[in-house]
Chain A
Amino acid sequence: AAGVIQSPRHLIKEKRETATLKCYPIPRHDTVYWYQQGPGQDPQFLISFYEKMQSDKGSIPDRFSAQQFSDYHSELNMSSLELGDSALYFCASSRTVRNYGYTFGSGTRLTVV
């Protein structure tokens, strides 16, 4: 079965650089969520999109932005990277039917040096 695809799997950037993370949801899933998980932490919600419109926003820094495209894939853009941005970034997708559940991608491990 198709899963949520995230790219790249690993990314190393220097401070003050920019990073772009991509997420390809499961076909026919209309909602995409982005989470940030620091070492030893639980995942923290960043932002979500429903039908290509921003749906909800969590603790996302102003340096981060995201969008969902016409093919439903989503990109998380992170600028002026800081050491504290080093984390695992998850994308998840779901259908609006609440009982369907949420499927997570394998995550992008971002290291800022």
Chain B
Amino acid sequence: AQTVTQSQPEMSVQEAETVTLSCTYDTSESDYYLFWYKQPPSRQMILVIRQEAYKQQNATENRFSVNFQKAAKSFSLKISDSQLGDAAMYFCAYPGGGRDDKIIFGKGTRLHILP
């Protein structure tokens, strides 16, 4: 079965510092995509960043970047210069296959930003 594992239920980081959220996944496919979603208190699900598995270069979106280790099936999210607005639940997600590639989510990491 396809799985996504986030081993850190909660994390805290000082404002302006850098934090890394971990994610591992399991798949037998060679070509796939990985996502990080942010869910703030409003509970809107917002796409933060997307990685294509066939690309060796790590994806970057402004202060957000990933460390993608395909062989290790690891997909961590780094947030630089953390801001108060980054406080949210972060979900690592993977299109879990099947006919329509429905997204499978990890359990999430709640990120607290300390002023």
- Interface on A for B, CB 8 Å cutoff? 31, 33, 37, 42-43, 45, 48, 50, 55-56, 58, 88, 90, 92, 94, 96, 98-99, 101-104, 106-107, 109
Contacts and interface: CB of A to CB of B under 8 A. Distances in A.
Contacts of B46: 104
Interface of B: 32-33, 35, 37, 42-47, 50, 52, 91, 95, 98-108
A101 B45 CA distance: 13
A62 to B, nearest CB: 20
Contacts of A107: 43-45
B108 A42 contact: yes
A31 B44 CA distance: 20
Contacts of A42: 91, 105-108
A104 B99 contact: no
A96 B45 CA distance: 20
Contacts of B43: 37, 88, 106-107, 109
A8 to B, nearest CB: 15
7 contacts: A33-B103, A42-B106, A45-B103, A45-B104, A103-B47, A104-B37, A106-B42
A108 B37 CA distance: 18
Contacts of A99: 33, 50, 52
Given A42-B91, A42-B105, A42-B108, A33 B45 contact: no
A102 B103 contact: yes
